[in-house]
């Protein structure tokens, strides 16, 4: 055929793939599959111009192309670097890449509050995944973190700047989906912050999408905040007839209640169709929607826990059996227990217990 | 080899040289006449290539090569942008040149624009230098009145409009693609490359960005020919270079030196810096602006192989990172034994922390991290593991960022630890002594 785009051959972590001319390394790797696809914290295919910022996707180019097989001197950001015919790329198999990526995880976390226990995004957070898969368990940063106060940037969206990793996704979303450009970055360096200039609030039929594109819990849905941990809710694909957007959404149930509506996302966490604010914030009844069926959730996702049939149904039993057969009786003869008698006789202990008694009796009377 | 030749500063002390009349009398604007009346744009590019001149903004990229990379699609304008953002600590040569002899830059802009086929060119001046903006604008008016600028220059049919644009005072806007963003009225974030400015620069059109000093050399190249220029200097370091010298030296200031001048002569002869101030001796040198690796005095005078160092791109970088440095932008900072390297490194780090644009995570977070750790060490709260931590953080920034600011932030820290590790250790081991005002580690004795 005449119009067919010519294909080029790219090798990533030893796996070959043919992709159309003009593809990036990231696109080629994603075609092979998740086992070789570099992590992406800023690149977001639906958003034009995104990428290149977080450096999570750095890879080593071992051979530039068939014509010029020299390696590239520096690691390159795979999301913005074009693939060439005969290019050989190393991702998870290259120690330099692994090391640099550890660095990126560490950098992204040093000013991050690590407040996952109180963050709505926990369980569907790309930073959690990225850190878990590519980081190290220790922290070396002992300095004070930079902090900001949470801020409403629209009647339905709250910004927790502390959690933001400055991926600029929301900025591109606001620029590309909404008419007025009021959402951007103020300041520089690690004191840069997402802002709506002079607390201008976001108002447009589509601004709610900034919540979906945010990889972390920096932009949260005020109609959903603190309603549930994400793994206690159940996502269902649904649609409606909407005159502003495609109406294709995911609705999240807790029991029989629709607690949140989001856009549907693909395997890479990217929104398939941006949805309008009416669908997102206002249609919170089952009767607003035509249900298509349970959303596909990756089995290893925490959201899949306790849901859908066999596999999960068996799990608690398995855990109980495991616990029953594998743990020995607790050995109670350790030193501190022997000292317990002595401790109990001490004045400090008595004073403490008195205080406790008072406190607990107060608690009880309150109830 | 012509030594001691002054290409840029020959007439700089002539009274009234900032005016068109005096500048013209010293032979100014002859290059415009020659270029526009007798030469084709391609011939000029050829001369610049032959001259071997390398960009004076820091990276030292051959100027003629950069010009020949400029894409020339039909029907798309091309732009020349002069980078006058000069904000690197230690560098103040462009400032000096522009305020003293503004017409030299204007003349260079005209011939360069003509060579590149640009009809609108920009000079992006560091925001703090508003008075220089006015000086340049006045010079532009004068040149226009004399027919060297504007429509139909010297009756040739070639039009050129020159625009002086003050920046907002951000170091990062000196990075060429951040500069272009800023010039377009956007936030000064460096762009991802490729595409390079030569293909998609200002307003997505092919653009050349050159430093003030680079452009100021072009009139001489046109007047005397590229071959003549290439005879000056040494090896691939052709021509002269402005060095802005500061620190503990007898004669601080801006010097035009012929590339290849022995470092010893530059440092110690009375014609140049006159040596370290009396009663003190040289401890360390930052030879090319705050971003280049710092060198201890012995490695500054002689390379690791024992050869005398010269003021040239090649000689200064001899030894690579382990024992060499870079000519950079020519911001020469000399430090005598009263300088605390830890404090100095912290100070540099503070600058890069403050100036990082915050786009990419290694630089945004890493510069702040390094600054905080250095601050801690300097103030007596460091631990031994902090030193290796700094080295590791600098390694994780270097080469992994969008623009070279990340490298520029990493190198001073890595090199200071490489060459002055014992000083860092002393700070950590003896916090009480180290935090006394003026305390400096000097091996066996301590200066306090
Ligand atoms: C952070 C940063 C700051 C820079 N600042 C300047 C500057 O102030 N002036 C300058 O001429 N070049 C500066 N540069 C270099 C420019 O990016 C660019 O290389 C230069 O203007 C090209 O001109 P040249 O080839 O004539 O040297 C800077 C680069 C970086 C990475
Ligand atoms: S708020 Fe979220 S989407 Fe916006 S830059 Fe920060 S992390 Fe990215
Ligand atoms: S290296 Fe620093 S200054 Fe350059 S783009 Fe990245 S964050 Fe901005
Ligand atoms: S995903 Fe490529 S740099 Fe962020």
Torsion of CA B237, B239, B244, B249, to 10 degrees: 80
Q: In which domain, by residue range, is A269 found?
A: 228-314
Show pLDDT as tens, one digit a residue, over chain A (367 residues): 556 789 999 999 999 999 999 999 999 999 999 989 999 999 999 999 999 999 999 999 999 999 999 999 999 999 999 999 999 999 999 999 999 999 999 999 999 999 999 999 999 999 999 999 999 888 899 999 999 999 888 889 999 999 999 999 999 999 998 877 778 999 999 999 998 865 666 667 898 999 999 999 999 999 999 999 999 999 999 999 999 999 999 999 998 999 999 999 999 999 999 999 999 999 999 999 999 999 888 777 888 776 655 444 445 566 666 666 666 666 666 555 556 677 777 787 788 777 777 666 654 454 4
Q: Among A203, A226, A249, where does a domain finish?
A: A226
pLDDT value of position A367 = 41
Q: Is B190 in the same domain as B221?
A: yes
- Does B55 contact ligand 1 (Cβ within 6 A)? yes
Is B3 contained in some domain? no
- Please determine, for residue B305, whether its predicted confidence score (pLDDT) is greater than 60: yes
Residue B132 and residue B242 in one domain: no
What is the pTM for the complete model shown? 0.90
Q: Given B364, B389, B400, which is nearest A100 (Cβ)? A: B400
Is A277 domain-assigned? yes
> If pLDDT is split at 50, 70 and 90, which confidence band does B448 have?
low
**Confidence (pLDDT) at A311:** 46
| pLDDT per residue as tens digits for the range B403-442 | 999 999 999 999 999 999 999 999 999 999 999 988 898 7
Residue B58 tokens read as 């820091």
Helix (H) or strand (E) holding B438: none
Residues B367, A80: C-beta atoms closer than 8 Å: no
Q: Are B400 and A74 within 8 A, CB to CB?
A: yes
Distance between B370 CA and the closest CA of chain A, angstroms:
10
The string of DSSP codes covering A207-241 is: TTHHHHH-SSTTEEETTTTTS--GGGSEEEEEE--
Pair B254, B227: CB distance under 8 Å: no
- Does residue A350 lie within any of the structural domains? no
Same domain, B86 and B126: yes
Percentages helix, strand, coil for chain A (3-state, rounded to 5) are 35, 20, 50
Is-contact B257 B289, C-beta < 8 A? no
Q: How far is A3 from chain B (nearest CA, A)?
A: 25
Burial class (CB in 10 A: 0-12, 13-18, 19+), A164: buried
Residues B326 and B293: beta-carbon distance below 8 Å: yes
Query: Is B169 at the interface with chain A, CB within 8 A?
Result: no
Cα separation, B425 vs B433, whole angstroms: 12
Domain tally for chain A? 3
Confidence (pLDDT) at B1: 42
Please check whether residues B49 and B148 belong to one and the same domain: yes
Q: What is the pLDDT of residue A362?
A: 53
The whole-angstrom separation of Cα B58 and Cα B214 is 11
Identify whether residues B239 and B202 lie together within a single domain.
no
Residue A344, in any domain of the structure: no
Residue A190 included in any domain: yes
Tell me what pLDDT residue A310 has: 42
Residues A180 and A198 in one domain: yes
Given a contact cutoff of 8 angstroms between Cβ atoms, the answer to whether B8 and B218 are in contact is no
- Evaluate whether residue B5 is within a structural domain: no
> Is residue B184 located within the same domain as residue B318?
no
DSSP string computed for B67-100: HHT----TT---EEEEEE---STT--HHHHHHHH
CB atoms A189 and B187 under 8 Å: no
> What is the tally of structural domains in chain B?
3
The answer to whether residue A126 sits within a structural domain is no
- Chain B neighbors of A191, CB-CB under 8 A: 358
| Res A70: pLDDT | 95
Residues A199 and A254 in one domain: no
Q: Among A226, A242, A259, give the residue marking a domain's end.
A: A226
Model pLDDT for residues A196-240, shown as the tens digit of each residue: 865 666 667 898 999 999 999 999 999 999 999 999 999 999 999
Same structural domain for residues B443 and B363?
A: yes
CB atoms < 10 A from the CB of B64, how many?
21
- Whether B14 is covered by a domain: the verdict is no
Residues above pLDDT 70, as percent of chain A? 85
H helices of B217-292, in order, are 218-224, 226-231, 263-268
* Whether residues B119 and B141 fall in one domain: yes
Give residue-wise pLDDT tens across range B320-374.
999 999 999 999 999 999 999 999 999 999 999 999 999 999 999 999 999 999 9
How far apart are the C-alpha atoms of B110 and B34, rounded to whole Å? Answer: 12
| pLDDT score at A313 | 44
Label residue A23 exposed, middle or buried (CB < 10 Å: 0-12, 13-18, 19+). Answer: buried
Residue B7 lies in a domain: no
Decide if B285 contacts B300 (C-beta within 8 A): yes
Which of A75, A143, A189 minimises the CB distance to B354? Answer: A189
In sequence order, which residues have a C-beta less than 8 Å from that of residue A255 and are 6 or more positions away? none
More confident of the two residues B175 and A313: B175
End position of a domain, from candidates B321, B336, B351: B336
Q: What is the least distance, in Å, from the CA of A14 to any CA of chain B?
A: 23
Same domain assignment for residues B248 and B375: no
B291 and B146 together in one domain: no
What CATH number corresponds to the domain at position A14?
A: 3.10.20.740
CA distance A104 to A127: 11
Q: What is the pLDDT of residue A307?
A: 64
- The alpha carbons of chain B give a radius of gyration, in whole angstroms, of 22
Q: Which ligand is the nearest neighbour of the Cα of B92?
A: 1
Asked whether residue B12 is domain-assigned, the answer is no
CA dihedral sign, ordered A339, A341, A347, A351: positive
Alpha-carbon span B169 to A31, nearest angstrom: 44
| In a domain? residue A168 | yes
Domain CATH code at residue B302: 3.10.20.600
Query: Rounded distance, CA B29 to CA B162, Å?
Result: 16
Give how far the C-alpha of residue A137 lies from the chain's centroid of Cα atoms, to the nearest Å: 18
* B172 contacts chain A (CB < 8 A): yes
The CA A77 to ligand 3 mean position distance, Å, reads 14
* B367–A107 C-beta distance less than 8 A: no
Whether chain A has a CB inside 8 Å of the CB on B421: the answer is: no
Nearest alpha-carbon partner for B77 in B183, B190, B206: B206
A25 and A99 fall within a common domain: yes
**What ipTM was reported for this prediction?**
0.92
Residue B275 in contact with partner chain A when CB distance is under 8 A: no
- Beta strand pairing status for A15-20 and A7-12? antiparallel
Longest dimension (CA), chain B: 74
- B366 closest CB neighbour out of A107, A144, A184: A107
Numbers of helices and strands, H then E, in chain B: 20, 15
Domain boundary among A200, A226, A252: A226
Residues of chain B with Cβ-Cβ distance to A53 below 8 Å are 359-361, 402
A190/B356 touch (CB, cutoff 8 Å), yes or no: yes
Query: Which of B313, B336, B359 is the endpoint of a domain?
Result: B336
Structure tokens at A99: 């090391």
Residues 394-413 of B with CB under 8 A from A: 396-397, 399-402
Between CA B282 and CA B212 the distance in angstroms is 31
Classify B354 as helix, strand or coil: helix
| Structure-model confidence comparison of residues B245 and A297, the more confident one | B245
Q: Give backbone dihedrals phi and psi of B103, rounded to 5 degrees, phi first.
A: -65, -25
- The rounded distance, in Å, linking the Cα atoms of B158 and A290 is 67
How many other β-carbons are positioned within 10 Å of the β-carbon of residue B401? 27
**Strand partners for B81:** B122, B209
pLDDT band at B175 (very low <50, low <70, confident <90, very high): very high
Average pLDDT, chain B: 95
Write out pLDDT tens, residues B365-397: 999 999 999 999 999 999 999 999 999 999 999
Does residue A158 sit in the same domain as residue A246? no
DSSP secondary structure, B108-145, as one string:
HHHHHHHHHT-SEEEEEE-TT-HHHHHHHHHHHHHHHH
Give yes or no: residues A236 and A218 share one domain. Answer: no
DSSP state string for B370-403: HHHHHHHHHTT---HHHHHHHHHHHHHHTT-SSS
Are A52 and A28 members of one domain? Answer: yes
Partner-chain contact A188 B358, CB within 8 Å: yes
**Domain presence at residue A57:** yes
Residues A13, A103, single domain; the answer is: yes
Domain that includes residue B312, residue range? 233-336
Q: Are A289 and A238 in contact (CB under 8 A)?
A: yes
Q: Assess if residue B6 is contained within a domain.
A: no
| Residue B276 shares a structural domain with residue B301 | yes
A285: helix, strand or coil:
coil
Cβ contact A54–B360 (<8 Å)? yes
pLDDT tops 90 at residue B125: yes
- Our measurement of the distance from residue B161's CA atom to the centroid of its chain's CA atoms, rounded to an integer in Å, reads 26
SS3 B47: helix
Mean pLDDT of B48-73: 96
Question: Residue A353: its pLDDT value, please?
Answer: 79
**Pocket residue to mutate for ligand 1, from B8, B56, B83, most atoms within 8 A of Cβ:** B83
Can you spell out the DSSP letters for B49-73?
Answer: HHHT-B-TTTT--BHHHHHHT----
pLDDT of residue B344: 97
Is residue A186 included in any domain, yes or no? yes
- Short-list B118, B105, B28, CA closest to B70: B118
Same domain, B47 and B107: yes
């Amino acid at each position: 055929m005449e119009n067919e785009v010519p294909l080029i051959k790219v090798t990533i972590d030893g796996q070959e793939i043919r992709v159309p001319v003009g593809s990036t390394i990231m696109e080629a790797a994603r075609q092979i599959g998740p086992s070789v696809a570099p992590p992406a914290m800023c690149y977001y295919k639906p958003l034009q111009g995104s990428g290149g910022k977080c450096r999570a996707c750095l890879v080593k180019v071992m051979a530039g192309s068939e014509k010029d097989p020299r390696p590239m001197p520096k690691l390159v950001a795979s999301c913005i670097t074009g693939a060439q015919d005969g290019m050989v790329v190393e991702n998870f198999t290259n120690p330099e890449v692994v090391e640099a990526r550890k660095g990126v995880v560490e950098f992204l976390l040093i000013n991050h509050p690590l407040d996952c226990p109180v963050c709505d995004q926990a369980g569907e957070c790309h930073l959690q995944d990225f850190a878990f898969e590519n980081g190290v368990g220790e922290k070396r940063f002992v300095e004070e973190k930079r902090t900001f106060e949470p801020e409403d940037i629209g009647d339905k969206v709250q910004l927790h700047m502390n959690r933001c990793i400055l991926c600029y996704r929301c900025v591109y979303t606001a620029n590309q989906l909404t008419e007025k450009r009021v959402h951007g970055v103020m300041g520089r360096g690690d004191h840069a912050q997402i802002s709506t200039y002079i607390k201008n609030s976001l108002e447009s039929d589509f601004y709610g999408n900034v919540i979906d594109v945010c990889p972390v819990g920096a932009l949260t849905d005020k109609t959903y905040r603190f309603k549930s941990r994400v793994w206690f809710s159940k996502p269902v694909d649904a649609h409606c007839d909407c005159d502003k957007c495609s109406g294709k959404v995911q609705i999240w149930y807790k029991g029989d209640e629709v607690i949140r509506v989001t856009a549907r996302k693909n395997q890479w966490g990217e929104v398939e169709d941006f949805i309008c604010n009416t669908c997102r914030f206002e249609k919170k009844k089952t009767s607003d929607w035509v249900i298509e069926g349970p959303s596909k959730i990756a089995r290893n996702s925490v959201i899949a826990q306790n849901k859908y049939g066999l596999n999960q149904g068996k799990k608690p039993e398995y855990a109980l059996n495991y616990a029953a057969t594998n743990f020995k009786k607790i050995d109670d003869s350790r030193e501190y227990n022997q000292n317990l008698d002595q401790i109990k006789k001490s004045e400090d202990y008595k004073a403490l217990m008195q205080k406790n008694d008072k406190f607990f009796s107060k608690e009880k009377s309150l109830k | 080899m012509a030594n001691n030749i002054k290409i840029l500063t020959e007439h700089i002390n002539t009274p009234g040289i900032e005016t068109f009349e005096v500048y013209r009398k010293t032979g100014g604007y002859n290059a415009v006449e020659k270029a526009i009346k007798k030469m084709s744009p391609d011939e000029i590019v050829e001369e610049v290539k032959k001259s071997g001149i390398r960009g004076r903004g820091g990276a030292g990229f051959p100027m003629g090569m950069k010009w020949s990379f400029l894409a020339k699609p039909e029907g798309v304008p091309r732009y020349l942008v002069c980078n006058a953002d000069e904000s690197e600590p230690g560098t103040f040569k462009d400032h000096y040149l522009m305020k003293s002899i503004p017409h030299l830059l204007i003349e260079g802009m005209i011939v360069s624009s003509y060579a590149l086929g640009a009809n609108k060119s920009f000079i992006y001046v560091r925001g703090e230098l508003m008075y220089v903006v006015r000086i340049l604008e006045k010079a532009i008016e004068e040149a226009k009145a004399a027919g060297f600028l504007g429509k139909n220059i010297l009756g040739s049919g070639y039009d050129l409009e020159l625009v002086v644009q003050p920046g907002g005072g951000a170091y990062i806007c000196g990075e060429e693609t951040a500069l272009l963003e800023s010039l377009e009225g956007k936030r000064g974030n460096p762009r991802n490359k490729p595409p390079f400015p030569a293909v998609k620069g200002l307003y997505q059109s092919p653009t050349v960005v050159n430093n003030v000093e680079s452009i100021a050399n072009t009139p001489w190249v046109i007047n005397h020919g590229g071959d003549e220029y290439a005879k000056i200097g040494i090896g691939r370091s052709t021509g002269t270079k402005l060095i802005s010298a500061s620190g503990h030296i007898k004669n601080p200031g801006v010097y035009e030196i012929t590339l290849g001048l022995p470092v010893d002569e530059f440092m110690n002869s009375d014609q140049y810096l006159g040596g370290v101030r009396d009663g003190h001796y040289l401890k360390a040198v930052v030879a090319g602006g705050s971003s280049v690796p710092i060198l201890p005095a012995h490695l500054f005078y002689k390379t690791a192989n024992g050869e005398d160092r010269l003021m040239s791109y090649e000689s200064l970088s001899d030894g690579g990172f382990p024992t060499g440095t870079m000519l950079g932008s020519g911001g020469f900072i000399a430090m005598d034994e009263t300088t605390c390297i830890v404090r100095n490194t912290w100070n540099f780090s503070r600058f890069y922390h403050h100036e990082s644009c915050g786009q990419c995570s290694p630089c945004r977070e890493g510069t702040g991290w390094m600054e905080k750790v250095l601050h801690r060490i300097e103030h007596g709260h460091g631990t031994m593991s902090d030193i290796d931590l700094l080295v590791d953080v600098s390694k994780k920034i270097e080469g992994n960022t969008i623009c070279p600011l990340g490298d520029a932030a990493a190198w001073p820290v890595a090199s200071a630890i490489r060459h002055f590790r014992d000083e860092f250790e002393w700070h950590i081991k003896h916090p009480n002594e180290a935090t006394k005002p003026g305390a400096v580690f000097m091996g066996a004795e301590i200066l306090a």
